[in-house]
Structure 1
Amino acid sequence: MIPRIALTPGEPAGIGPDITLAIAQQAWDAELVAICDPQLMQERAELLGLEVEIQVINSPLGEPSPHQPGTLKVYPINLTAPCKPGQLNPSNASYVLYTLHAAVDACIAGRCNAMVTAPVQKSVINDAGIPFSGHTELLAEDTDTHRVVMMLASKDMRVALATTHLPLRDVADAINADMLEDTLNILHRDLQSKFGLANPKIAVLGLNPHAGEGGHMGREELDIIIPVLEKLRASGMQLDGPLPADTAFNPKVLSNCDAVLAIYHDQGLPTLKYASFGEAVNVTLGLPIIRTSVDHGTALDLAGSGKADSGSLKSALQMAIDMSQSTQTS
């Protein structure tokens, strides 16, 4: 199966357009459709010295065909204001969101099999007066999904998050039995359906240092996490934990699990990004569509310089292709 993949280049002043153009230089067993401003892509290609034929299309329809190097199909959405590499402009915040909404719509309608997103700049979207906490939350709202799970994956590990973009002082209040059970059910189900793991093993971290140390460093493990794990183990899930976060990321634990569930953002992701930065992929689980993304930010200082590394976007695209094909054949 040749899938059709919607690409959103993200913040126009960042490296998203650069790395989108970079991956367009090679062959892919998928049809790539960038949802963005075609003039932006043409101007950035000229700045980078890349020969890319921009092919404007009215809608991604018909039978997908493999991507041809040196071309890029673009479903056009125009910038709100002119864009210079490295210079944020809040006027283009709405443009960034329009590209994301269009990609979601294309996937829900079946015109595309998956969406792959380059980085956005959360601060400039909020500076424009638009409340925005991240891709993950927007995609959940656009697809009417009650709960989604953010997971970063590399060749060596997968780390999912029980909570995502919350201030640290709010994390403990956000942890309750229902949300943790929902999160583990989503993670377990998508590891089966989208990654082909028949009976996945999940290591679950504790919230507190030393996983609470028997209640002496917090009771969330005793009152919430352990009862949920016991309940789900009784239903057949393979769950290990709660584990102290400072010792969980070791070869013995990682070799015996298919994914780690961290309780909050900076508990699990620093280790994965240290080990796999530039190669990790952000996957949104629980959605009715497939969405992958890069593991890095907009790198405004590199935009238009030709020095941006497209490795994470390549990995995200390949994972989206693999997941699309797996879903179609399962």
Structure 2
Amino acid sequence: MSNTPQKPVIGISCGDLNGIGLELIIKTFSDSRLLELCTPVIFASNKVVNFYRKSITEINFNYQSTKEYNRLNNKQVNVFNCWEEEVAVNPGQLEDAAGKYAVLSLQTAVAALKQQQIDGLVTAPIHKKNIQSPDFNFPGHTPYLKSFFEAKDVVMMMCAGSFRVALVTEHVPVKDIAKYITKENIVSKLHIVHKSLQRDFGIDKPRIAVLGLNPHAGDEGLIGNEEETIIKPAIKEAKNSNMLVVGPFSADAFFARKHYDKFDAVLAMYHDQGLIPFKALASGDGVNYTAGLPVVRTSPDHGVAFDIAGKDKADASSFLTAIYECIDIIQQRADYDLNRSNPLKKINPEVFARMEDEDIRE
């Protein structure tokens, strides 16, 4: 793949076969205008795609089938067949087979991403229970991608336009959260968020807010001391690394008073502290982005939705936004890397072109 893809190849894992993933994919790519922005590759099988295509009314969805990356059609949706066997599809049911093939789709897509057969990945929702096996022992996409790409650390970051919420801890039982709130963890997450805001979102000098762990951010140590002994020292260390980081803020007041409007990202301490206000405020258009990976991966900010699966009721807004975000980050990252490799590229493009012509870049 090109370092600066004009029309990136976007891989899409199908998610749980009995969830809403394939319905979202079909609805999203029934709009042929998306083909002007990217070349989609759906990792699934023709039979499963056809099952859901027939269940969706008034849809114009066409695709070509392939098993070879060198035969992708950049003017059409591509279905990369990860399996040929018949698989029973039972929308709305939690079944081992649906999880098994969701993992197969994901593993095939991630291997293609590592081999640079695709430029970015958008993952449809999986169910954390039926994906478990001796060969796949991860609670979700994020820890699997971290392990596969051997990343030192990653951050789950929810995005809705300029509103971004990152997490220190993700899918951790509430009783265990506090033991993961360490200075080292917070500083690591802040470095990743800061770098991602620069490289992936084009923000030169990011402003990051940090939430407290306890109610009222501990009330000066009256309600827990993590803010005083852990979070404030972490913020101080981040500031010493030339990051603009402020906090810790009381989480309820921070969101209620719309302080998030003043920052490029918010670092929450745990899942519900960040995701409840995010999902309430993002109005269904949120995207989950994995910061800290050497590759680009996004996903919608919702789950498998078994209650509406197969009923042609799924709203594809978040999935469509995840596609757009993936495309945008790929291009932004490519531009950032190009500018870093040649600082003169930051000059007005017309001036730089003239300098190139005169061969005076040295």
Both proteins in one fold, TM over 0.5: yes
Distance 1:306 1:275, change over 3 A: same
Q: CA deviation at 1:51?
A: 4.1
Map 1:120-199; keep pairs closer than 5 Å.
120-126=126-132, 131-155=137-161, 157-199=163-205
Counterpart position of 1:231: 237
Counterpart position of 2:357: none
Q: CA deviation at 1:126?
A: 3.7
Q: CA deviation at 1:80?
A: 7.3
Map 1:283-322; keep pairs closer than 5 Å.
283-322=289-328
Distance 1:256 1:230 in 2: 20
Q: Please list every run of at least 4 consecutive aligned residues from structure 1 whose deviation after the TM superposition is greater than 6 angstroms.
A: none
Equivalent residue for 1:269, pick from 266, 275, 296: 275
TM-score (norm 1): 0.94
Distance 2:71 2:47 in 1: 25
Q: Does 1:241 align with 2:250?
A: no
Q: Which amino acid aligns with 2:222?
A: H
Distance 1:97 1:268 in 2: 27
Q: CA deviation at 1:146?
A: 2.1
Asked if structure 2 preserves the Cα contact closer than 8 Å seen for 1:91 and 1:128, the reply is no
TM-score (norm 2): 0.86
Map 1:1-330; keep pairs closer than 5 Å.
1-26=6-31, 27-28=33-34, 29-49=37-57, 50-61=59-70, 65=74, 67-68=75-76, 72-78=77-83, 81-126=87-132, 131-155=137-161, 157-250=163-256, 252-330=258-336
Decide which moves more: 247-256 or 10-19.
247-256
Q: CA deviation at 1:317?
A: 0.2
Distance 1:80 1:181 in 2: 48
Offset from partner CA, 1:128-181 (integer Å, 9 cap, x none): 995331111111111111211001111251000000000001010111111111
Q: CA deviation at 1:326?
A: 1.1
Asked if structure 1 preserves the Cα contact closer than 8 Å seen for 2:30 and 2:62, the reply is no
Decide which moves more: 202-211 or 128-137.
128-137
Q: CA deviation at 1:125?
A: 2.2
Asked if structure 2 preserves the Cα contact closer than 8 Å seen for 1:5 and 1:114, the reply is yes
For this pair of structures, how many residues does the alignment match?
326
Name the Cα RMSD after superposition: 1.9
Q: Which runs of 5+ in 1 are unaligned?
A: none
Distance 1:129 1:98 in 2: 11
Q: Which runs of 5+ in 2 are unaligned?
A: 1-5, 337-362
What SS is found at the alignment partner of 2:129? Answer: helix
What SS is found at the alignment partner of 2:165? Answer: strand
What SS is found at the alignment partner of 2:131? Answer: helix
Q: CA deviation at 1:62?
A: 7.4
Asked if structure 2 preserves the Cα contact closer than 8 Å seen for 1:93 and 1:128, the reply is no
Counterpart position of 2:344: none
Distance 1:108 1:280 in 2: 26
Q: Which amino acid aligns with 1:16?
A: G
What SS is found at the alignment partner of 1:83? Answer: coil
What SS is found at the alignment partner of 1:75? Answer: strand
Q: Which amino acid aligns with 1:210?
A: H
Offset from partner CA, 1:249-287 (integer Å, 9 cap, x none): 145522211000000000011011011242000000011
Distance 1:30 1:103, change over 3 A: same
Offset from partner CA, 1:230-253 (integer Å, 9 cap, x none): 111122110110111111114552
Identity %: 35
What SS is found at the alignment partner of 1:221? Answer: helix
What SS is found at the alignment partner of 2:52? Answer: helix
Distance 2:138 2:18 in 1: 18
